[in-house]
Amino acid sequence: MSARRVEELRLLRAYHSTGDPRAREAAVERFLPLARSLARRYSGGSEPLEDLEQVACLALVRAVDGFDPTRGTAFTSYAVPSIAGALKRHFRDNGWSVRVPRELQELALRVERLNDELLAELGHAPTAGQIAASTGGGIEVEDVLEAREAFRALHSASLDQPRGLREDDDGGSPSCFMSWLH
């Protein structure tokens, strides 16, 4: 195990064993560049970078709180999916140009995923009927059409694909979320 990982685990164990807020703050500060880097990966659209960094910072704090250092896994293996998931939820919940009910948002994303799968399988754009049929009766053709219309209200192309990396990688100041620690 590398010296860096040993130090990271020491910080996390110190926080989880004693509940010491200084150990928590040190652990969060240690991984702040990771959170900011993940936020920058999703920047470049209509969401301000500062908002994305706040989402990432809060997710980092939750990851530090929720991590179990006794499991023997690297913190980053736990934190990266947690932070990326929070950023994706932020886009899902706030990234629609028209307010669409969550159930319809989820259906629209599911229909889009099915569309992509069938496109790859068939070699051409599937019809609404083909998408509905691929669900085994779980979705009606009308639902597919409504979901496709709702998907047009989404102004980000894909939540799984980062929008692009920024050139500035200054690491920034941990002050963006220190108020959340106390």
Q: Choose among 160, 173, 86, 153: nearest CA to 116.
A: 160
- Mean of all residue pLDDT scores within the chain: 82
Q: Which domains does the chain have, with CATH numbers?
A: 3-95 (1.10.1740.10), 102-151 (1.10.10.10)
CB 127, CB 18: distance < 8 Å: no
Read off the pLDDT of residues 39-83 as tens digits, 9 standing for 90 and up. 999 887 777 889 999 999 999 999 999 999 888 888 999 999 999
Percent of the chain with pLDDT over 90: 47
pTM of the complete model: 0.55
133 CB neighbour count, 10 Å cutoff: 15
